[in-house]
Amino acid sequence: MKINFIRVLLIIITFITINSCERDDICIDEITPHLIVRFYDNDNNTLFKKFSQLSVKVMGIENDSLSFSSTDSILIPLKVTDNSTQFILTLDSDQNTFIRDTLTVNYDPSNVFVGRSCGFKTIFNNTNYLLDSNNWIHNVETITQTIDNETGAHVKIFH
Amino acid sequence: MKLVHMLKYFINILFLFSCIVSFSQKYDSQSTDTIIKNKYGLRVGIDVFNPVNAFFDEDRKGLELVGDFRISKKLYVAAELGYLENTTSEDFINFTTDGSYLKAGVDYNAYENWLNMENAIYVGFRYGYSTFSQTLNSFTVNNDAFLDDFATVENGQKFDNLNAHWAEIVLGIKAEVLNNLYLGFSFSGKKIIATKEPEGFKNLFVPGFNRVFLNNSGFGFNYTISYLIPLYKKDK
């Protein structure tokens, strides 16, 4: 009887232990959200409009530009250590002509704890957009001022 | 660090199996006609893991006092009182937990001793309470790797007056190696019942509970050396 009692307890404890060993070492939660830009047709403000080739250069970052081709939606990263991120958006049209506009995104970053493996992420509040020229982008329209997820677009670009 | 944790885990499992093996000896034991008197008294000791571990691991400093008092042939009232300062280093965060804890409960000795031997293979239940602080030493914001802005923020933000309540199942062995001197090993599975979380952070480590896993469970082990202060003897 005693042995059975102990065995049952051993089994219980083993189960608790196995249960405890679930993996939380790998970060699978959402981390810092990207800025989601949706491209619209300047002639008809309700229609999406694809570009053929776009390169996005993040100012102050050594890395090469991010390249996107024939899409109407892009995800670009924002700097978490700064209050603004400046992007040079270069449109490469079919005739190999490069036209660029500079978009500055200003925001108040705030750090939010995610979990053991992911650490902290940043969310961006009071976002606003500044366009320095209108070479190919005609207008920028804010969809949401708070960037805290990647479920939908945050800003519209009309071109 | 990972390897050390894995080794600790496997050593724990081996100890669990060693308990099973030791039961097989029990079939031979039959009680004798002589009346065996059991020692009753207060057993006090310390957990030797933390003091020894401090030589190898600078991130964990602590001391735990253990004690139990026998109330019947098989039942002991048991308690642990400890202090622990532990620094946890993860990929994106580094924090120090500092606090003290108390665990109280009962141990049930399921081992039928030979003659006048006083060994124990026991199961126990504990209620644990800890009061502590968390200091977030540094963190790195988890952003798109493209930006290379993995600048570590030296924070040093301290979260005070935190606490946690938990329940614990203990499985352990105690062996009398010299007269009244015991060596013990125990393993415990734990589950947090209630905890006061810091604002903007989380209790990922609790003194006395150790690492808090995703589902609020945890486990721990003790290596104890303790001394029995015999008060009286009873025949059962």
B151 vs B15, more confident: B151
Q: Is B147 on the interface with A (CB under 8 A)?
A: yes
Query: pLDDT in tens for each of the 159 residues of chain A?
Result: 555 666 666 676 666 555 555 556 788 888 899 999 999 998 888 889 888 888 899 988 877 788 898 898 999 999 988 899 999 998 886 667 788 899 999 999 999 999 998 899 999 999 999 988 888 888 899 999 999 999 999 999 998
Range of the domain at B143: 39-234
- Interface of chain A against chain B, CB under 8 Å? 2-3, 5-7, 9-10, 12-14, 16-17, 19-22, 24, 27, 31-32, 34, 58, 61-63, 66, 77-81, 111-122
Distance from CA of B22 to the nearest CA of A (A): 11
Do A19 and B215 count as a contact with CB atoms less than 8 A apart? yes
- Judged on CB neighbours under 10 Å (0-12, 13-18, 19+), A44 is exposed
* pLDDT mean over B36-58: 89
B33 in a domain, yes or no?
A: no
The residue of B21, B142, B212 whose CB has the most chain A CBs within 10 angstroms, and thus the best one to mutate to test that interface, is: B142
The C-alpha atoms of residue A34 and residue B57 are separated, in whole angstroms, by 39
Nearest to A121 among B123, B142, B169 (CB): B142
**Which residue reads 């992420």 in tokens?**
A121
B170 in a domain, yes or no?
A: yes
What angle do the packed helices B2-23 and A2-20 form, to 10 degrees? 170
How many CB pairs below 8 Å do chains A and B form together?
Answer: 120
Contact present, B141 and A122 (Cβ < 8 Å): yes
**Which residue reads 């620094």 in tokens?**
B87
Do B213 and A20 count as a contact with CB atoms less than 8 A apart? yes
Chain A hits for B9, Cβ within 8 Å: 21
Do A2 and B112 count as a contact with CB atoms less than 8 A apart? yes
Q: Is B140 on the interface with A (CB under 8 A)?
A: yes
B16 in a domain, yes or no?
A: no
Paired residues of A159 in beta bridges: none
DSSP character string of B64-96? EEEEEEE-SSSEEEEEEEEEEEEEEE-SSEEEE
- Judged on CB neighbours under 10 Å (0-12, 13-18, 19+), B17 is exposed
Contact present, B100 and B209 (Cβ < 8 Å): no
B148 vs B162, more confident: B162
**Helix or strand or coil: residue B18?**
helix
**Helix or strand or coil: residue B190?**
strand
Handedness of CA B106, B107, B112, B116 (dihedral sign): negative
The C-alpha atoms of residue B169 and residue A32 are separated, in whole angstroms, by 39
Extract the runs of DSSP E, i.e. beta strands, from chain A. 35-40, 51-58, 66-71, 73-76, 84-92, 98-115, 119-131, 139-142, 155-158
Structure tokens, B66: 């253990």
Measured torsion, CA atoms of residues B80, B132, B13, B114, in degrees rounded to the nearest 10: 0
B5 in a domain, yes or no?
A: no
Contact present, A128 and A150 (Cβ < 8 Å): no
**Helix or strand or coil: residue A40?**
strand
Structure tokens, A15: 């189960």
pLDDT, tens digit (0-9, with 9 covering 90-100), for B70-112: 999 889 999 999 999 999 998 889 999 999 999 999 999 988 8
Question: Of all helices (H) and strands (E), which one includes residue B183?
Answer: strand B181-196
Cα B185–chain centre separation: 9
Total domain count for chain B?
1
With bands split at pLDDT 50, 70 and 90, how would you rate the model's confidence at B33? Answer: low
Cα nearest neighbour of A109 on chain B: B141
Q: Where are the domains of chain A?
A: 26-158
- Judged on CB neighbours under 10 Å (0-12, 13-18, 19+), B188 is buried
Q: Is B19 on the interface with A (CB under 8 A)?
A: yes
* pLDDT mean over B128-143: 93
Cα nearest neighbour of B10 on chain A: A17
* First CA to last CA distance, chain A: 81
B32 in a domain, yes or no?
A: no
Output DSSP code: residue A59. Answer: T
Chain B hits for A58, Cβ within 8 Å: 146-147
pLDDT, tens digit (0-9, with 9 covering 90-100), for B180-230: 999 999 999 999 999 999 998 999 999 999 999 888 999 898 999 999 998
**Which residue reads 């099973």 in tokens?**
B20
Distances (CA, A) of B220 to A157, B53, B103, B207: 56, 14, 13, 11
The residue of B149, B187, B203, B215 whose CB has the most chain A CBs within 10 angstroms, and thus the best one to mutate to test that interface, is: B149
Contact present, A115 and A29 (Cβ < 8 Å): yes
Q: Is B102 on the interface with A (CB under 8 A)?
A: no
The C-alpha atoms of residue B1 and residue A144 are separated, in whole angstroms, by 44
Do B187 and A9 count as a contact with CB atoms less than 8 A apart? no
B8 in a domain, yes or no?
A: no
**CATH code, domain with B211:** 2.40.160.20
DSSP character string of B44-59? EEEE-HHHHHTTT-TT
Distances (CA, A) of A61 to A57, A86, A147: 8, 10, 21
Nearest to A5 among B110, B191, B204 (CB): B110
The C-alpha atoms of residue B61 and residue B97 are separated, in whole angstroms, by 10
